[in-house]
Structure 1
């Protein structure tokens, strides 16, 4: 038949097709059916290509006959040619419909090989020759073959048997029958029908990808599209993993292929979002490997959908997109036996979310959606508040569980902790990319959430979440606060109250973390030596940033916030002197080093050189000098009292080192004239300070009574330092050059 097709008269082709169809449907020999389907493919290819060439040859013959006539009738050539072409077009369509009808029937054959071959051929024909089909023929194909094939295969798959098959008997062994092994993916009728469904969806995908702009203009396409969406929903919720993934790919290929070209109207994008939303809301209780794989594909599809069609998104569509993403991550039941977490891996669905988050950045015309995106992400961090409780303009995501209860106790989920560790840097990076105005709307929430992550150090000192949160917190403050200061001077929408709220949150985080979670003693087995050294370096870096880059910077931190931050440093500096002597003896060395570093920051903030022209630094110096003097006086008096109480015994080395450090720093400290005037000195002394004085050590006068008490200390090193300080006081009062003869 392959070789004889060109010689068969056109009116006989229909009978040849019927014969090939009969051979395809026979049940005696499988290979005969498959060969006959191959003949149908050859016939279809010939019908589309061969009849077109035959029509052209007939046209040329008619033209030669017309030239040989002596008296041609007017326009006779055009009439004959048009009639001939129209006649052959109608004949071609009839033959193609015959082939399509046979393939559609074979698509329901009980033999998987036959129906799969027929379905594959049907969609290959439409994909290869679809551009040659007329509009009316396409309407018939969609109505009678394409979507009905999907519906029929879906029905047969749903009603097919789930009983496992035994392979063909090959013989016997030890009296028992030996059967051919069948792969587990094909050992039931339903699984084989699922394979057929995947082929149908693949064929529809090819047709939509190639002809979607043309097909959506057909009168019956919209109903077919709606039926496809219904099938996608049912496949994801009730079908096998393979069918669900093929259904998602069908929608995704259409969106990715035509969104960048502008061929996909907004209504179709909305219908895809509605489909995913309905599916994920109904499948939220499923938490197995199949559901996770489907959710991963949906998340990837949503990311690609937004990237390709973000120009067509409005605020409502973007809100829906974020809501759908949140539905995919929602996990009402948390288990602690996740094998991914045991190997240090983020669970697959959460890992996919981390991959697509950079793609979900709001476009320029969606700038107000930055708040929605970031607040949704903050919701996944510890103890996150519900999104925008007081704002009905934004959708509220479902609460994501980060812990479960077993026997009334709270059990942290390792896999979710891993997810949060990966999420924190992503949130920080997205926040830094947001427009300045939108940053001010979300800045306090970001700081507050990072602060909650930092406080997880108490329960998980060896975890990475608190360390990453500290890095992100300081990254935002150092790299972004300065830019926000400049922007606030130009942008009138950034108010003073909003800036004060930001600094209030910053002060809250520093106070809670430094006082409650830094410089503390930990069990010996909690951390390795390398981890303890790394964490100590991190603590010192926190103090450096607070003291040198926040309090001594040119940011307009409110005075009450400056007072709180300095008070926080003072509380951390007071630990060694406030602890009982028995406790100080047991205190690890890194705790005393942390306390001394906080004390050193107070000394640094109190020093103010005349070259410093920043008024904010002057205010910081005035506030810190008062706190420093109170702390130094307490340390010196407490040392003397403890030394008297213990008798001949020596004080713990940490206490002695603290007093020596204080005395040395007091000797080095030089303050500005304006700072000296803020000290609680007698008016006569202030008058002397206000005069030209190059020494600027008026702070020593405040502590003079304490120095007088320390001259009787049993520690020789302390007595020597007190002697130095008394000489400096004499110089400050101008007494060093006075003699008895003066």
Structure 2
């Protein structure tokens, strides 16, 4: 009975629908009154699916029939009638039943195909039906609705009245925000890009149709935007909402579309609109992304990924939001850079600049390595103001003519051609002040990032964050571009802060797991990117100081101090707080947590830089007064003293050559100024530490390498002979005495072993070096030529005699202890060299004028005689021959020569 009633009821409804349709075709306009009456019934909301279906069928059929009917006047010109026909269809949107929604969407799709070109003022209602979606609807319903929207954007945008384009943007953004179907969201974002392209391509038509002006002056602070700009503002706002969607793919697509649209079409906007874009879209977006990123979960959510494999860099919500944060910050920075000519015409550009830098600073100090590195890249982006900008092309093809170039910098843009020379000169007055404020803020932010990110940890903290080498390299690499803008106000205090940041950055170790990919290995030792960026930064400073004012050139000493610290790193790597690290090259077996960077190539390149810098500044007053030469010698003393103990043999070799080069430049200057009094003792200690290093050569050192190293030692003695001793009268007496002691010590170099029998000592006896020292002593032990040389000659002779006495005495003692076993060849060569030195000295003394030889010298010579007699027991022919020649010279001393009263 129930089934028969239902069938009867459906037949009745079907007949009613047919009658109403026929009624509509028969009565112009009157039939439309029936539709609301039918809809007002509860048929479409009936609990019975069949009843709902027939009710919806009735309404959709009536709407389609009414739209296909011929009216006079035509339907597309009758706004009231069109709204009355479509209103019942729109009211179906309030019904939540899926079958009713499906009927509604099918009807809309058919209407678009058959009546889309005649809708005109009915577009808001049709678009409203399409956009009546919610997250409770099924994927199929959303896909069907989106199919209609795609048809509208693809085929009907040109015929939609421009005042309804705003609705298109809003509906497309709704599909982007729904969370039932990801592909629909991504495609909807693509539709927004298509809509933006349509706005650009048809800008003249849209502006004309919407009306050129809002009727308000741009100078009014609350002036409304132009209608055309309102379209863009709506588009940017909707994209901004999509940029903080919960789905990473949606956020990424929306972000790329937003910033691409700003880049491609931003030149169409008025400056007041740009102001709203900054403060209502971009900066709120930065804040929202930053907030949501900080709250994101760090745990993996297996349920959200299902069976899909996700890369480890994106397997948590935090990492996914980090990607969004990177994209957003990079996009805003790129917008600031490319649109700066427009942005800085707005009144609060300095405030916007400062806020952007705050976001960059906050992100750069984020523990997430991806975000922090991207923040520095964004910093670099806004530093590159003078590079070619895409905006030039944009402004040429469609920009507004009232955009003026930035007040701070005159960039090469198409609109610049309209500016005369007088206008440019007027801008110069405010250029320096504005520029100084903006770049000073940037410099302060750079220092904050550098100081806080490289701050060494103290104690054992559970959460340890060490910046990566990529981050530090990007940080230092940013400095040259920034310095270009701040060098006019760069002072000594800034240099000190910069130096602190650079030193801290260099001291940061690298994790053991990554060290094979960052630290080069032997023999391919090169500087790391961070070290290279540091040297580049220093070279930029050197160039600026060289051509700068006197105040800037007074920074030379501080710059030298910084470079000398870098040289020290080559042999004494810096520590990074309390972190336990292993030096480069000392890691054996399992990897350790942290490894100190290899500073040898970096230190050696710094040495070359110091040589060149000192060559150009040796006579500068600031360099002289700050005792830079003394500091250089002191810095070289460490690697030279270590010598064979240096991590790399090239370090001490390069250091001694550098020192000799610098001495060749600096000694002539030092001899003329009293400011170098403290330099001489430092030089003497450095030479002594190098020539008599406490670190012996390695047993594996070949004879060729040993002779090569000995040649370097002889080169040092040559510098003493040519550049030091001839000018002894202009140098402190203590320094000259110390040099004589050094030559004395090296003139007849004793074997390094304490044992009188040492078969290995032959390789450790620097015979050529001893010969060079002896010849130098001998050269300055001859006849005194001037009054200034008198004291030098006395010191040289006494030093030589004292050394001879010591060696002869030791030889006699060792030979006695050795018995019948002969002493090693080096010991025999040593005593033979001493005897020859005595012979030569006696010949020189006897040829000298008696007035030029001190009586105490003759006394020392005679006191040496008993020790020589003890050597007559030697069995070595070499020793006996040299002894014989020396004793023959004593025959003239058996009686006092001349009027000298020398005691026998």
**Does the 8 A contact of 2:510 with 2:596 survive in 1?**
no
Change in 2 beyond 3 A, CA 1:105/1:31: same
Match of 2:761 among 588, 591, 597: 588
Determine whether 1:104 maps to 2:240: yes
C-alpha distance in structure 2 between counterparts of 1:433 and 1:557, whole Å: 26
Q: Which string of whole-angstrom CA distances, capped at 9 and with x for unpartnered residues, describes residues 319-378 of structure 1?
A: 332232233345599999966669457777556545644344362332222222332344
Matching residue of 1:450: 636
Q: Which stretch shifts more, 240-249 or 652-661?
A: 652-661
Residue in 1 that maps onto 2:645 = 461
Deviation at 1:621, TM superposition (A): 4.9
**2:694 corresponds to 1:513:** no
Decide whether aligned partners of structure 1 residues 428 and 9 sit closer, same or farther in structure 2, where only a CA change above 3 A counts: same
Name the SS for the 1:156 alignment partner. helix
Q: In 2, Cα distance between the equivalents of 1:644 and 1:110?
A: 95
**Matched-pair contact (CA < 8 Å) for 1:618–1:675:** no
Aligned CA distance change for structure 1 residues 623 and 677 (closer, same or farther; 3 Å): farther
- 1:6-85 aligned within 5 A: 6-52=158-204
Residues 290 and 325, structure 2, Cα contact 8 Å, conserved in 1: yes
**1:585 aligned counterpart, secondary structure:** coil
Distance 1:119 1:16 in 2: 20
What's the counterpart of residue 481 of structure 1? Answer: 663
* Distance in structure 1 (CA, Å) of the matches to 2:751 and 2:291: 80
Q: Distance in 1 between matches of 2:509 and 2:224?
A: 64
In 2: Cα distance, 1:209 partner to 1:648 partner: 90
SS of aligned partner of 1:463: coil
SS at match of 2:365: helix
Aligned to 2:740: 566
Question: Unaligned stretches of 5+ in structure 1?
Answer: 60-79, 170-177, 385-397, 687-698, 736-742
Q: Secondary structure at the match of 1:597?
A: helix
Match of 1:471 in 2: 654
What SS does the aligned partner of 1:163 have?
coil
Report whether the alignment pairs 1:254 with 2:382. Answer: yes
Q: C-alpha separation between the residues in 2 aligned to 1:186 and 1:84?
A: 49
The question of whether the paired residues in 1 share the 8 Å contact of 2:210 and 2:227 is answered with no
Tell me which of 534, 538, 552 is aligned to 2:705: 534
Q: 1:74-101 CA deviation, whole Å, 9 max, x = no partner?
A: xxxxxx9998999998221121122122
**Partner in structure 2 of residue 548 of structure 1:** 718
Q: Distance in 1 between matches of 2:239 and 2:196?
A: 11
Q: Which residue of 2 aligns with 1:718?
A: 879
For 2:241 and 2:331, locate their aligned partners in 1 and report how far apart those are by CA, in whole Å. 16
Contact 1:536 1:590 in 2 (8 A): no
In 2, Cα distance between equivalents of 1:510 and 1:323: 31
Could you tell me whether the CA contact under 8 Å between 1:17 and 1:40 is conserved in 2? yes
Q: Structure 2 CA distance, aligned partners of 1:335 and 1:557?
A: 52
Q: State the alpha-carbon separation in 1 of the partners of residues 784 and 274 from structure 2.
A: 81
Q: In the alignment, what sits opposite 1:153?
A: 289
CA RMSD of aligned residues (A): 4.7
Deviations, residues 545-599 of structure 1 (Å, cap 9, x unaligned): 332112332555444312201202323456638976x3453552123335x7335
- The structure 1 residue matched to 2:328, chosen from 183, 191, 200, is 200
For residues 369 and 198 of structure 1, do their structure 2 counterparts lie closer, same or farther at Cα, with a shift above 3 Å needed? same
Q: Is the 8 A contact 1:161 1:190 kept in 2?
A: yes
Query: Structure 1 residue 663 and structure 2 residue 835: aligned?
Result: yes
Correspondence for 1:694: none
CA contact (8 A) 2:743 2:777 kept: no
1:273-352 matched pairs, under 5 angstroms: 273-283=443-453, 284=455, 285=457, 290-306=467-483, 309-330=486-507, 343=521
Paired position in structure 1 for 2:257: 121
Shift of 1:151: 0.8
Higher alpha-carbon deviation: 129-138 or 218-227: 218-227
Q: Decide which moves more: 565-574 or 665-674.
A: 665-674
Aligned residues: 661
The offset of 1:309, in angstroms, is 4.7
Distance 2:784 2:855 in 1: 24
Q: What does residue 681 of structure 2 align with?
A: 504
The structure-2 alpha-carbon separation of the partners of 1:517 and 1:411, relative to structure 1 and needing over 3 Å to count, comes to: farther
Q: 1:332·1:401 contact (CA, 8 Å) conserved in 2? A: no
Structure ID, larger Rg: 2
**Residue 206 of structure 1, CA deviation:** 1.4
Q: Deviations over 1:46-86 (max 9, x none)?
A: 33442236668999xxxxxxxxxxxxxxxxxxxx9998999
SS in 1 for 2:692: helix
Alignment partner of 1:370 is 2:541 = no
The separation in 1 between residues aligned to 2:849 and 2:329, in whole angstroms, is: 79
The verdict on how the C-alpha distance between 1:41 and 1:338 changes in structure 2, with shifts beyond 3 A counting, is: closer
What is the deviation of 1:462?
6.5
1:479-507 Cα offsets, whole Å, 9 max, x none, are 23333345468xxxx732x3232221110
**Whole-Å Cα distance in 1 between the matches of residues 514 and 195 of structure 2?**
59
1:121-158 per-residue CA deviation (whole Å, 9 max, x = no partner) reads: 22222222333321211111111011111111111222
Distance 2:271 2:763 in 1: 81
Measure the CA separation in 1 of the matches of 2:193 and 2:443: 38
Per-residue CA deviations over 1:428-483 (Å, capped at 9, x if unaligned) read: 523541422344322212211221233335xx736317x5145324423x323333
Partner of 2:673: 495
Confirm or deny: 8 A CA contact 1:540 1:597 kept in the other structure.
yes
Deviation at 1:619, TM superposition (A): 6.3
Aligned residue number for residue 139 of structure 1: 275
**1:97-124, Cα deviation, whole Å (9 max, x unpaired):** 2212221222222222223222222222
1:245 counterpart residue number:
373
Q: 1:546 to 1:616 in 2, by over 3 A?
A: farther
> Cα deviations across residues 292-317 of structure 1 (Å, max 9, x unaligned)?
43223212222443356534523333
Secondary structure in 2 matching 1:257: coil
CA pair 128-622 structure 1, distance change in 2 beyond 3 A: farther
Q: Distance in 1 between matches of 2:577 and 2:177?
A: 56
Residue matched to 1:598: 770
Deviations 1:619-678 (A, max 9, x none): 655532321122223333443455456555433433222122233445566759769855
The 1-side partners of 2:816 and 2:304 are apart by 99
SS in 2 for 1:181: coil
User: In 2 relative to 1, CA 189–41 (structure 1 residues): closer, same or farther, beyond 3 Å?
Assistant: same
Q: Could you tell me how far 1:241 is from its partner in structure 2? A: 1.6
The 3-state SS of whatever aligns with 2:823 is: coil
Q: Provide the TM-score with structure 2 as the length reference.
A: 0.63
Q: 2-side partners of 1:197 and 1:417: how far apart?
A: 31
The 1:336/1:504 distance shift into structure 2, 3 A limit, reads farther
Residue 181 of structure 1 corresponds to 309
Q: Among residues 437, 451, 462, which one is paired with 1:267 in the alignment?
A: 437
CA contact (8 A) 2:569 2:603 kept: no
Q: Distance in 1 between matches of 2:829 and 2:248?
A: 86
Contact 1:639 1:659 in 2 (8 A): yes
Q: 1:292 to 1:715 in 2, by over 3 A?
A: closer
Of stretches 84-93 and 194-203 in structure 1, the one that deviates more from structure 2 is 84-93
**1:433 to 2:613 alignment:** yes
Closer, same or farther in 2 for the Cα pair 1:674/1:89, shift >3 Å?
Answer: farther
* Mean CA deviation greater in 354-363 or 94-103: 354-363
Cα separation, partners in 2 of 1:337 and 1:569, compared to 1, 3 Å: farther
Q: Distance in 2 between matches of 1:610 and 1:329?
A: 54
Deviation of 1:730 after TM superposition, in Å, equals 6.5
CA contact (8 A) 1:168 1:180 kept: no
User: Matched residue of 2:722: which SS?
Assistant: coil
